[in-house]
A and B are shown apart, each in its own frame.
Chain A
Amino acid sequence: MLGNFWQEQKIALIAIVAVVVAVFSSVVIVPETEQAVVVRVGEPVRVINRFAPKTDFGSTGAGLSLRIPFLERLVRIDKRMMTVDMERQQVLSAEQLRLEVDAFARFRIIDPVKMVRTAGSTERVKEQLQPIFSSVLRQELGKRTFQSLLTADRGVAMKEIREGLDRQAREYGAQVIDVQIKRADLPEGALESAFSRMQAAREQEATTIRAQGQKSAQIIRAEAEARAANIYAQSFGKDPGFYDFYRAMQSYDYTFANKDGQSTIIISPDNDYLRQFKGH
């Protein structure tokens, strides 16, 4: 059956196959996430779905495109935002303090033709950017003190690193969008001394807290005594003479009366207590 058909329609079939092959080799699909450089015998001639900042997805050049079969070759390049990670490395700050720094940069290929000419592939771009990244970072962080890196200057530093890196990345047709310092930390050895510093600080804090507590306690006691004195003075000041007598009586009571007869009191008959003894 089919053989028969083949025999009869040989030419037509071959023609169909040829057309299909021609279509498949001249029509290319470029997805939204890629841009493609068309290389005609070694020379980049045009870009399909080139990155354009303001274009919304759907109105880009993605989708079906034509090329001249066999003559033109497609180099596909990621259109999305990509990341260059900088390996953790030690950087010297302005005051010669060693810092351990982790950072990443986000970039995008904005000039695919240039990129194809200079680097060839996005992987190569990343490889090229990495040493540049770390040298720019060293330069920038070397201008700053560690303390300033921890706070306000961090943003400024990152911005300047971004600009420095971006200048160089343009050579590869890439645009650096953002640089973020993930960590800016003390290296392993300094960590130990940081710990002992923290420990000493805590111990100092503990001692201070104890001393402060004792001080406050003392003040509270003194204040109470003062107030008590005030209360006494107000009350007893009404008649110092009577107070003297009253308090003496209390004192005699306390000193002599409450112990069980252990004192020997020698009284002169002239004593006021024995006044009536004399009987006159």
Chain B
Amino acid sequence: MSTYPSYNSVMKTVGDAIARGVLAMAGRRSPWGGGDKNDPESSGGSGSGDPAGDGDGQAETPPPSGEAPRGPRNPWLPQGEQRPRRSAGIEDIFRPREPGTQRGGPGGGGGSGFPRLPQRAGGKSWFPIIMGGVALVWLLVTTTHMVGPKEQGIVTTFGKYSHTIDPGVSLTLPWPIQNVSVTDVTSIKRDTIPEGDTEKLMLTSDQNLVDLSYLVRWNINNLKLFTFQLADPEQTVREVAEAAMRASVAEVTLQEAMGGAGRAQIEQNVRQRMQAILDAYRSGVLIQGVEIKKADPPGKVIGAFQQVTAAQQDAQRDLSNAQAWAQQLLARAQGDATAFDKVFEQYKLAPEVTKRRMYYETMERVLSSNDKVVVEANGVTSYLPLPEVKRRQQQQQAAPAPGGQ
């Protein structure tokens, strides 16, 4: 029924249009107008009621200007009755006929209850024409069905499934016999669970909790089953998603649930589980995909998780430092060793000379930059304050330089 929302209004408009057309036709043949009294039709109309009369049309048709002072007259009345009459008001039209009015005809008395409008209309009666028109429109509206490119329609005959119609224009039997309900089947529906930003905690296999939100994409792959099989298919999809997701998350550890590879695995599992359950229900639903949008630790312990991240970075930093130090040490060792090797090569060529040269050069450097006292050996115990004093003085002058032993 919801397929024909504007059904009544359409009927009404069409009915009006037909009524107008009929009136217009009647108007062309209208016996009103100046000097038309001798028209055989008008004079012949004796009020016997036979040509049913356009009388009611007066309300809609403006009186011809020629008779302005007297107003329109009913041409079917006997000629003798020339008394002026006022144009019919709305009350006149709808007032039940009273016996003994000047319009008196047979059938006046018994028709109580019906408004006069549908009873007395054009030619013979235009009531059947209206009904015919309405029926035609009704047939047209309820037998042809436009199905959009993404949609399919289920045709039921007195409630019994008849067939499914595909996109395009289709014909069916009219409404009370066959009914069509059109549904969008190909566009993918998205269910985000949970809706909004609420925290949804799920248990993992290591009894930790993970805050999860995910998206299920699905569409209808068998409209017939989808329509008739489940009492509430949309809700069913959501519930099945929830059950499948919790079951899948309960199989993995927290780390896996939060990590990349584990997530993909869960998504895959949930999809397969859901499809299996929904197929068992014969629901006509095809799960296109499940995506985990978020898998975070619960808000209350997020600080502890950040600490872990910090610790990981600390450990990384320690490692890097150690590696740098090791590189330095090795380079140094290699440098030292190479230097020794080079010198050793030369030393081998002339050991004695090289050795003495190196000795003297070193002693030169050492002794030239130090105070030196040459003391005759054997029992010399002399007090030698001078260099010491001198050095102290120098030190005091030369600012608090480092190394003042």
Contact = CB atoms under 8 A, between A and B. Distances in A.
B297 A1 contact: no
B322 A220 contact: yes
A227 B330 contact: yes
B247 interface: yes
B110 interface: yes
B239 A81 contact: no
Interface in B245-284: 246-247, 250-251, 277, 280-281
Nearest to B320: A217
A194 B251 CA distance: 18
A235 B374 contact: no
Contact of B160 (A62, A235, A261): A62
A80 B203 contact: no
Interface in A169-220: 177-178, 180-186, 191, 194-195, 197-199, 201-203, 205-207, 209-210, 212-214, 216-218, 220
B163 A249 contact: no
Contacts of B391: 262, 264
B208 A198 contact: yes
A4 B161 contact: no
Q: State which size class the interface on B falls in.
A: 35 or more
Contact of A231 (B300, B334, B369): B334
A181 B343 CA distance: 81
A273 B363 contact: yes
Contact of B304 (A82, A199, A236, A270): A199
A234 B340 CA distance: 11
B318 interface: yes
A87 interface: no
B212 to A, nearest CB: 12
B240 interface: yes
Interface of A is mostly: helix
Contacts of A1: 52, 107, 111, 119-120, 125
A267 B374 contact: yes
A212 B317 CA distance: 12
A33 B228 contact: yes
Given A80-B228, A81-B230, A257 B315 contact: no
B203 A225 contact: no
A217 B332 contact: no
B405 A221 contact: no
Interface of A: 1-4, 6-7, 29-34, 57-58, 60, 62-64, 78-83, 104, 106, 146-147, 149-151, 154-155, 177-178, 180-186, 191, 194-195, 197-199, 201-203, 205-207, 209-210, 212-214, 216-218, 220-221, 223-225, 227-229, 231-232, 234-236, 238-239, 242-243, 245-246, 249, 252-253, 256-257, 259-270, 273-274
24 contacts: A3-B112, A81-B236, A83-B231, A83-B232, A104-B243, A150-B207, A154-B247, A155-B247, A182-B239, A198-B304, A202-B304, A206-B308, A209-B308, A209-B311, A213-B316, A218-B322, A220-B319, A227-B333, A232-B336, A235-B341, A236-B337, A246-B344, A252-B363, A262-B391
Given A252-B366, A264-B370, 8 more contacts: A1-B111, A64-B160, A180-B240, A198-B298, A199-B304, A217-B321, A228-B332, A238-B341
